[in-house]
């Protein structure tokens, strides 16, 4: 699995994420999001969601993916525990993401919110490949 670290940022939350593949990078970004928002709250794999996303760049795909995860939590009160399956495809300069997610509904007395993420931003976001790992910085608007 990939790695992430939180980094100093003037007003918002920021992380540096790395992974051995784009898939690993995306999954690690979801783990980071979940840990930033919910700390070590126990989340069960009780329900499943399917996501299909299209974007013009891999950076836009990552922002849209994390934005959907954040939307599930903020609006639908559903927490993604795990990305069960993830496929990223590039067809004629259009990127497609297909994912199966598992998680459960947010329960106030069971889950503790550590941080509120309002939005995933494009600020400083550039996915780079250095020969053996993908990496990027993700800034969350809090």
Q: Where are the domains of the chain?
A: 3-141
For residue range 55-109, list pLDDT tens digits in order: 999 999 999 999 999 999 999 999 999 999 999 999 999 999 999 999 999 998 8
pLDDT recorded at residue 4: 85
- Residues 46, 32: Cα–Cα separation, whole Å: 21
119, pLDDT greater than 80:
yes
Band the pLDDT of 1: cuts 50, 70, 90.
confident
**E strands along 2-61, which residues?**
3-7, 13-19, 47-55
For residue range 33-42, list pLDDT tens digits in order: 999 999 988 9
> Thinking of the domain 3-141, which architecture would CATH place it in?
3-Layer(bab) Sandwich (3.55)
- Residues 85, 18: Cα–Cα separation, whole Å: 19
Q: What percent of the chain has pLDDT over 70?
A: 98
Band the pLDDT of 11: cuts 50, 70, 90.
low
How far CA 61 is from CA of 74, 87, 90, 115, in Å, comes to 20, 12, 11, 23
pLDDT recorded at residue 12: 81
Mean pLDDT, range 45-61, rounded to an integer = 96
Read off the pTM: 0.93
């Amino acid at each position: 699995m990939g790695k992430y670290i939180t980094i100093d940022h003037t007003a918002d939350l920021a992380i540096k994420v790395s992974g051995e593949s784009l898939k690993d990078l995306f999954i690690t970004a979801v783990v980071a999001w979940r840990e930033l928002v919910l700390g070590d709250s126990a989340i069960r794999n009780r329900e499943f969601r399917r996501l299909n996303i299209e974007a013009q760049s891999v950076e836009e795909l990552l922002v849209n993916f994390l934005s959907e995860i954040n939307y599930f939590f903020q609006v639908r009160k559903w927490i993604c525990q795990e990305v069960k399956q993830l496929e990223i495809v590039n067809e004629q300069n259009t990127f497609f993401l297909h994912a199966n997610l598992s998680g459960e509904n947010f329960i106030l007395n069971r889950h503790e919110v550590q941080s509120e993420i309002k939005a995933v931003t494009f600020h400083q976001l550039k996915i780079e490949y250095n020969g053996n790992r993908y990496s990027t910085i993700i800034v969350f608007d809090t």
